[in-house]
Each structure stands twice: as C-alpha cells, then as structure tokens.
Amino acid sequence: MSTKQLIECVPNFSEGRDMGIIKQITDEIESVEGIRLLDVDPGRDTNRTVVTFVGEPEPVCEAAFRAVRKAAELIDMTKHTGAHPRMGATDVCPLVPVSAITMAETVAYARRLAERIGKELEIPVYCYEEAAFEPKRKNLASVREGEYEGLRMKIDDPAWKPDFGPAKFNAGAGAVIVGARDFLVAFNVNLNTTSVRRANAIAFDVRERGREKREGDPATGKVVKDANGEPVMIPGSLKAVKAIGWYIPEYGFAQISMNLTNIGVTPVHVAFDEVCSKAEARGVRVTGSELVGLIPLKSMLDAGRYFLHKQQRSAGLSDGELIAAAVRSMGLSELKPFVPREKIIEYILEDTSRKKLVDMPMSSFVWETSSESVAPGGGSVSAAMGAMGAALGTMVANLSSHKRGWDARWEEFAGWAEKGAVIQKRLLELVDEDTEAFNAIMKAFEMPKGSDQEKAARAAAVELATKGAALVPLTVMKETIKVFDLLGEMVLKGNPSSVTDAAVGVLAARACIRGAYLNVRINVSGIKDKTFAERLLKEGAEIEKQAADYEMKILAEVEGLFHAK
C-alpha cells in the first residue's frame, strides 16, 4: 500500500461545448509532473465540464492553479449560458483527501490555493465545505446563490466579501469557489418526463434541505417563516444529498441531478431507489441514471449486492458480476456505455504496468509456474489452491441459494456464498503477494556489499524481506482455515448433488495449508530474529493441525453420506 499523500481535485469549468477550450485547460493540468488526469466529463446542455485529477498535494495545487488561470483566459462569463448553476469560469474547485492525508491538511492546501488564485489572478475566491471560514459559507448552494448574474451585488454586500482576492466584480472570470470535502458522487437519475416542475418536485422530495413550508396550497401558498424571518423548511427523505431537477434538450428528458456528499450516509443505490419511489408517487417513471465523474469501487459493489438481495439472489460473486448487476439495475448505460475501467477510481489508479499472475489465463499461469523462473513457486500455487477450495464452497452455496424449492433458505446460503467470496478474493491477492515477497528477497540480496556500512544495510534489508516472505504464507494459512466452516456446512446442508464439489474444496484447502506451512518453515530458517521465527512456526503448526482435523471430520461425513445411499 502506498504511503504517499494523495489528493483528488475535481474542478468544474463553465464550458461544455468547445472541446478545443476544454483541451487547453486539461493540457495545463497535465503539464504538471506527477499529475494523473482521471476523467473529463463535458455536458453540452449544462455547458459545463467536470475534470478529475489526482496526485501529491503540491503538484495538485499547482495543476489546479494553472487550470483556473487558463479557464479565466479562455472563458468569458458575460457570454455563458447553461442549465447548471454557476458563478465563474472555474465554478468550483474542491480538493478531496484520497490517501495518507487528513482533512485538516487538505483544508490547509485548499486555503493556500484559494489565496494564490485571489492574489495572482485577481479573481474573487470563496471557500466552502470544510475550507469555509464561517458556517454560512460551508454550503455550496448558499455561496453560489444568485449565480453569476447576481455576483456583482453579492460582492458589494459586506456579509459576502470574498475570502481571498479583490472585492470587485470580475466580469470575464466571475468568481471561484475553492473547498475541501469528502468524496462526492455526482449522480443524475433519468425521468420519462420533460417537465422541470415535476423533476424539481421529486428533487425536493428527496434532498436533505427539502422544500419551503407553505400555508394552504403547498405549491402556491405563502411561505412560512421562523422568528428570524427565515423560511421554514420541510426536510427531504435523504440525508447528505443535494438535488435539483432540470431538462436536458440533448437527451430529450428531465433528470434529477444529485450530489451525494456522504456516500456512507446515503449510498448511490439508496438514492436511486428513493428517487424511483418518489417519482412513482408522482406518476413519473425512472428510466435509468448517469454517473458524472468517478465513483469508488465499494459503492458499485454495495449497489450490486443490494439489488441482488432485492431479487433474493446470492451476491457471492466476482467484483465484475456485482458491478454488472449494479449497472443493469440502475440503468447506468442508458445514455452511454458504463465502462468500469474509466469510471471506478480504484481501477483508474491501478498500476497496469505490473503483470499480475491472477490475471493470466489458467494455462499461462501453469506454464509460467513450470518455466525456469523460480517464481511463481509453491507459495503462489498454495494460495491458488486455497482460492479454488474457497471457490468450490462458494459455488455450492450459490447453487443451494438458487435451488428450486429452497426459496425460504436463499438468505442462509447467500450469506455463506458471500463469506466464501471474500476469502476467495483475498487468497487471489496472496497469489501475487507471495511472488512479490520472494522478489523482494532477491532484490535485497542484489544490494551492494563492498563496505561495512553497505553490508549492514544489505543484511537488514534481507532480514526484513525474509520476514515478509514468511508472513505471506502464514497469512494464506489464516485465510484458508476460515473456509472449512463453509465447506463443512455445504457438505451437511448444501445441495446434495454438489457434496463432492465441497469435498474437493476440502482437499484443495488442506493442500493449500500444508504447502503454505512448508513455505513458512523454509523462510523462517533464514531469519535471525529467533523469537519472531518461533512465533510464526507455532502459529503455523496450530493452523496445520486444525486443518488436518477439519479434513478428517468433513471427509468422514462425506463417506457417511455415500454409505447412507
């Protein structure tokens, strides 16, 4: 796992039609070394482009500054029109902590970026979300209220003096809103109506802020105000959700445009289903949805599980199958194909230059093992056998979950399948981790050893790498021992026609643990820290004995089933 500090920047530019202008802005971003451009999502009718890039904090702030500068040069807000609320050429520029960095640190970077934009570019800058200097500026909608057209008056109001830059209207560039926030998912739900009024009604039903309370008629009645003269609001049904309704001529229908500001509170699948429910209550049907920008892998996997469970089906499936279920269920490909490698942040950040053993076809993996190279070897093959054992148990659980006449037990077996899939996934990761650990030892041995200092550094590196190489097969053992509960349950209670599949899973898991323990033993023999080595040997021996007992017990039950027939 990388220990580098990483932040994401998601600037929104008020140009979604001229790809030449958009390209010049993204070229500025990519001109900064260490920046990875993840996504460029233009919208013609909104006349807005959402750009996503990631990197270490200093390069990200530099890239953001250059992009804001270029946008101010190329975009004239006096001529801008579009469906999306906006305040400037660069409308919003949030920084998002991704890895090894706190929100407080991200706020500091955001405020420094805002100060530089205001000072060097002479553009008014407001700070929002976690970077806000006062509570009323935390909410983006409050800061952007009045939009570009009301900006001259807003800046003249002492209560809305910009946080940085001149308190003077900049007709060409407008104002920039810089912030620090948690990961936000921009998610639009498609409706079978062209009515903005109907779409807004649904948006008000679901968004956290809700709608203004009115006397008498909820549409035309007088707005009810509190003691401070502020409108009394009727909250919507979803927390951490901002939403508006709009009509997109390009598509020919209206959408609910949502920002999910905390997907831990309101996940994307919950937002989708709630919009479906509120739309149906108003005689409107949801036809699909659209993801603007990127989404974390966990959100898509959780959505896939959610919709499969609604169908009373097991979610003990691969990540690809879970993602496909989510895409189908939410209609994410209605407007254009949803490509996971282009929309899921972990996939985009994945190091594709590294050749993974688990991504090879089975025949290639087998031939790679048999080649003259010493890796992959017994450790990786042991992990692969453990993964196959878990896969067989998961298969039986899935078959049992969908067996005709066992509908009342689907949840029981689905739970087992999902546990098995988690173990299987981890063991597949360990196939590569074992080979990587071996390669780390080889790299340590290649270190120079000319001087006493070099010898000491080399010896320390070899010791550390050898400890790591011993821990990997022990981890394989710890993961694989968990699968015996699943296999034993499937032998006793699973689909009777698949008993022998579960039994083969037992044999594979047992072989995995025996093989992994051999690798623990050979690796600890080269460790100088004897206390560490003895601890690993003791843990390994205990697991090895547990596995032998499981194997004997479960296979005896299988034999008993044969004799009973």
Smallest Cα–Cα separation from 66: which of 121, 126, 20, 110?
121
User: Could you give the percent of the chain with pLDDT greater than 90?
Assistant: 85
β-bridge partners, 7: 55, 97
Q: Which residues are catalytic?
A: 84, 434
Q: At which residue do the structure tokens 């090879």 appear?
A: 360
The CA distance from 45 to 246, in Å, is: 10
Place 2 in a pLDDT band, splitting at 50, 70 and 90: very low
The CA distance from 398 to 410, in Å, is: 9
Smallest Cα–Cα separation from 381: which of 497, 221, 193, 513?
513
Strands (E), 213-342: 233-234, 241-248, 253-260, 286-292
pLDDT in tens, 446-467: 999 999 999 999 999 999 999 9
Residue 236 dihedral angles phi and psi, to the nearest 5°: -80, 180
pLDDT in tens, 155-190: 999 999 999 999 999 999 999 999 999 888 999 999
The CA distance from 270 to 244, in Å, is: 17
Mean pLDDT estimate for the chain: 94
- Residue 511 CB contacts under 8 Å (≥ 6 apart), including other chains: 382, 385
Smallest Cα–Cα separation from 251: which of 290, 197, 204?
290
In this structure, which amino acid lies at residue 94?
A: P
- Residue 391 CB contacts under 8 Å (≥ 6 apart), including other chains: 420, 424, 505
Place 3 in a pLDDT band, splitting at 50, 70 and 90: low
Estimate the crossing angle of helix 196-206 against helix 268-281, to 10 degrees. Answer: 130
231 φ/ψ sector (left φ>0, alpha ψ -120 to 50, else beta): beta
β-bridge partners, 97: 7
- The answer on pLDDT for 93 being more than 80 is yes
Cis peptide before 376 (omega within 30 of 0): yes
The CA distance from 244 to 257, in Å, is: 5
Residue 157 dihedral angles phi and psi, to the nearest 5°: -80, 120
pLDDT in tens, 107-160: 999 999 999 999 999 999 999 999 999 999 999 989 999 999 999 999 999 999
Q: What is the pLDDT of residue 112?
A: 98
pLDDT in tens, 400-450: 999 999 999 999 999 999 999 999 999 999 999 999 999 999 999 999 999
Are 177 and 87 within 8 A, CB to CB?
Answer: yes
58 φ/ψ sector (left φ>0, alpha ψ -120 to 50, else beta): alpha
Q: At which residue do the structure tokens 């920047």 appear?
A: 9
> pTM higher than 0.75, yes or no?
yes
How many other C-beta atoms lie within 10 A of the C-beta of residue 482?
17
Q: What is the largest CA-CA distance in the chain?
A: 90
How many other C-beta atoms lie within 10 A of the C-beta of residue 359?
12
Residue 295 dihedral angles phi and psi, to the nearest 5°: -140, 145
Smallest Cα–Cα separation from 503: which of 559, 565, 422?
559
β-bridge partners, 286: 191
The CA distance from 38 to 42, in Å, is: 14
- Residue 394 CB contacts under 8 Å (≥ 6 apart), including other chains: 316, 416, 417, 420, 421, 424, 486
Q: What is the pLDDT of residue 428?
A: 97
Strands (E), 367-489: none
In this structure, which amino acid lies at residue 237?
A: S
Q: How many CA atoms lie within 13 A of 437 on its CB side?
A: 26
Q: What is the pLDDT of residue 1?
A: 38
What domains can be seen in the chain, in order of their start residue?
6-180 (3.30.990.10), 185-349 (3.30.70.670), 357-564 (1.20.120.680)
Q: At which residue do the structure tokens 């807005």 appear?
A: 48
